[in-house]
């Protein structure tokens, strides 16, 4: 009996040492390894406009995923179409989008520790509004040698951090731990959250959104999956993938809003106000793959 108890103590000690070792050595942490492999394929999507409001003349629209070495980027459609509609609705007559490719400025003399981007103009090439998917085409192929040679910071030629994401049509199951990466709140570095798949895939019909005129129905995304995460809007369009792997299983669509009520009795909805209920929507990658294949864009599949 004493021997058995000692064995358990030794095993617990070994497990603790192994966990501590994994924390000290990121290469042994499956999440850290997955993030490192996914990171070069995740890009920032920026907008510029001639809006009269200075704060709306330039900003981060969301996140994208490089899916082809010919210069195509995948994102959530509302990242670009919603941003453009909002800007034009307030009077902007010119709206442009740019894809920010991460570049390494950490090595060499005069290195800069801040994240830097090379921005390439892009156009909205194809969309699937039902599933909230858009494909952007870059004006210049970032994999071309001419693009790489044309980037300089001072007298340095920084390394372009870029790769093509692999996509997997497997559907993550309820309870699985996943990672979602992107650029929230104009933060100039990639942010990754580790959370759990909160629901099985489900299909919803047209719905009446809160604070929207009666009869104005919004189409819900088919085969949505809910993610147990408070995800900020800048991460919309970012990849959803399993810890320990680096294939994109879905596209993150920010968060599921809930109406904000007053504290009065009886309660009433505060017009134009809402709150994050702690659930984000995941769009299964199969719809993006279908859109890419329909338009004959070659991608990486398992």
Residue 83 sits in a domain whose CATH number is: 2.40.10.120
Confidence of residue 2 (pLDDT cuts 50, 70, 90): very low
Least confident of 82-86, 103-107, 260-264, 291-295: 260-264
What gap in Å lies between CA 184 and CA 161, rounded to an integer?
Answer: 19
Percentages of the chain per state (helix, strand, coil), in multiples of 5:
25, 35, 40
Closest CA to 72 of 7, 120, 4: 120
Phi, psi (degrees; rounded to nearest 5) at 56: -110, 15
Q: Check residues 43 and 188 and name the one with the higher pLDDT.
A: 43
Question: Residue 219 carries which DSSP code?
Answer: P
Residue 20 resides in a domain: no
Would you give the end-to-end CA distance of the chain in angstroms? 50
Residue 254 resides in a domain: yes
What gap in Å lies between CA 33 and CA 245, rounded to an integer?
Answer: 8
Residue 58 token pair: 């330039």
Confidence of residue 215 (pLDDT cuts 50, 70, 90): low
On the question of pLDDT at 294 being above 50, the answer is yes
Q: Check residues 182 and 107 and name the one with the higher pLDDT.
A: 182
What pLDDT score does 228 carry? 86
Residue 46 resides in a domain: yes
Cα dihedral across residues 244, 249, 253, 259: positive or negative:
negative
What pLDDT score does 96 carry? 97
Confidence of residue 182 (pLDDT cuts 50, 70, 90): very high
Residue 24 resides in a domain: no
Residue 91 resides in a domain: yes
Residue 74 near residue 64, CB atoms below 8 Å: yes
Closest CA to 188 of 121, 86, 105, 255: 105
pTM above 0.85, yes or no: no
Residue 181 token pair: 């990466």
For the segment 47-75, the average pLDDT, to the nearest whole number, is: 93
What pLDDT score does 29 carry? 83
Q: What integer best gives the mean pLDDT of the chain?
A: 77
Residue 139 resides in a domain: yes
Confidence of residue 20 (pLDDT cuts 50, 70, 90): very low
**How far is C-alpha 6 from the chain's CA centre?**
47
Confidence of residue 49 (pLDDT cuts 50, 70, 90): very high
What pLDDT score does 227 carry? 84
For the segment 116-125, the average pLDDT, to the nearest whole number, is: 92
What pLDDT score does 264 carry? 53
What pLDDT score does 281 carry? 86
Residue 255 near residue 277, CB atoms below 8 Å: yes
Q: How many CB atoms lie within 10 A of CB 278?
A: 16
Residue 42 resides in a domain: yes
Q: What residue numbers bound the domain in which 85 lies?
A: 32-294
Residue 60 resides in a domain: yes
Our count of domains for the chain comes to 1
């Amino acid at each position: 009996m004493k021997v058995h108890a000692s064995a358990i103590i030794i095993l617990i000690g070994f497990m603790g040492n192994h966990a501590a070792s994994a924390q000290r050595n990121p290469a042994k942490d499956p999440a850290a390894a997955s993030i490192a492999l996914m990171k070069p394929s995740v890009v920032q999507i920026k907008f510029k406009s001639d809006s009269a409001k200075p704060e709306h003349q330039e900003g981060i629209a969301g996140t994208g995923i490089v899916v082809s070495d010919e210069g195509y980027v995948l994102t959530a459609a509302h990242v670009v179409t919603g941003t453009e509609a909002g800007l034009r609705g307030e009077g902007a007559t010119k709206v442009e989008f740019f894809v920010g490719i991460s570049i390494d400025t950490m090595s060499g003399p005069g290195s800069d520790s801040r994240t830097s981007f090379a921005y390439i103009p892009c156009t909205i090439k194809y969309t699937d509004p039902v599933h909230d998917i858009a494909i952007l085409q870059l004006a210049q192929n970032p994999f071309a040698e001419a693009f790489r040679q044309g980037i300089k910071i001072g007298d340095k030629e920084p390394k372009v951090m870029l790769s093509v994401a692999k996509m997997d049509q497997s559907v993550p199951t309820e309870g699985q731990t996943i990672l979602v990466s992107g650029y929230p709140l104009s933060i100039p570095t990639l942010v990754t959250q580790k959370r759990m798949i909160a629901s099985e895939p489900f299909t919803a019909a047209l719905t009446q959104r809160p604070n929207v005129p009666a009869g104005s129905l919004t189409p819900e995304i088919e085969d949505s999956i809910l993610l147990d995460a408070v995800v900020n809007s800048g991460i919309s369009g970012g990849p959803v993938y399993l810890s320990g792997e680096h294939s994109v299983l879905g596209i993150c669509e920010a968060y599921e809003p809930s109406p904000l009520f007053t504290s009065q009795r009886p309660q009433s909805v505060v017009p134009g106000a809402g709150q994050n209920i702690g659930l984000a929507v995941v769009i299964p990658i199969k719809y993006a793959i279908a859109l890419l294949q329909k338009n004959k864009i070659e991608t990486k599949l398992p």
